[in-house]
Amino acid sequence: MLDVFGIDLGGGYDIACSFCKTLDNSPLGPKARENNHRSLVGAFHGHAHNRLCQLKNLTIYVDGVGLEDLEGNAWYFAFSNLLAPSVRHASTFHCRQAIANHTVYTDTFKTYQNLSTFLLNNYKQALGILNTKPIVIATLANLGAGNPEVVKEWLQEEEEYLHSLSKEPLEETLEMEYYKMLVNLQKSE
């Protein structure tokens, strides 16, 4: 993919935050860095990740990703799971034959027919988002963000703040220890 698609490629993966480290340390690492490759977390799985990971890898915060949720492969493989019962005890040949037939069927009768619906729905969704632009701009202005760059600055500040939290704040630690002591005191009485 790095050779075929070239620069500025983003790839979605459930655990992209960990995968990017693996990719970076692999033989593909130099090519990925040269191509400015981004490992991104899909919309479904991204909300289960911590906030720092979300700020770096969630599609909503990455310019150029658009409406893509990066869950296309998950949908495809979920659909292909329908094959499992029929190939569980099949020979290698028949298993591969069933997978090939399933793929041809999906391409012929599912993918191409659904593509126009997909494009139309995304177009309608994009128009709907564009129609909310005046409301978003007014809301940002009310929040003190005269332009979208201010929001990017806020996200950068949030990321820097989260990086600064290498350990729990002392006040919170002391409050928790005090609470535990009170609980232990109550139990001992």
List the chain pLDDT tens, one digit each, 189 residues: 888 988 988 888 888 888 889 999 999 999 999 999 988 988 877 888 889 888 888 888 888 787 778 888 778 888 889 899 999 999 999 999 999 999 999 888 888 888 888 889 989 999 998 999 889 888 888 888 877 788 889 999 999 998 888 777 788 889 999 999 999 999 998
Return the structure tokens found at 55: 């700020």
Q: Which residue has the tokens 């935050």?
A: 17
DSSP 50: -
Nearest to 69 by CA among 22, 122, 17, 18: 122
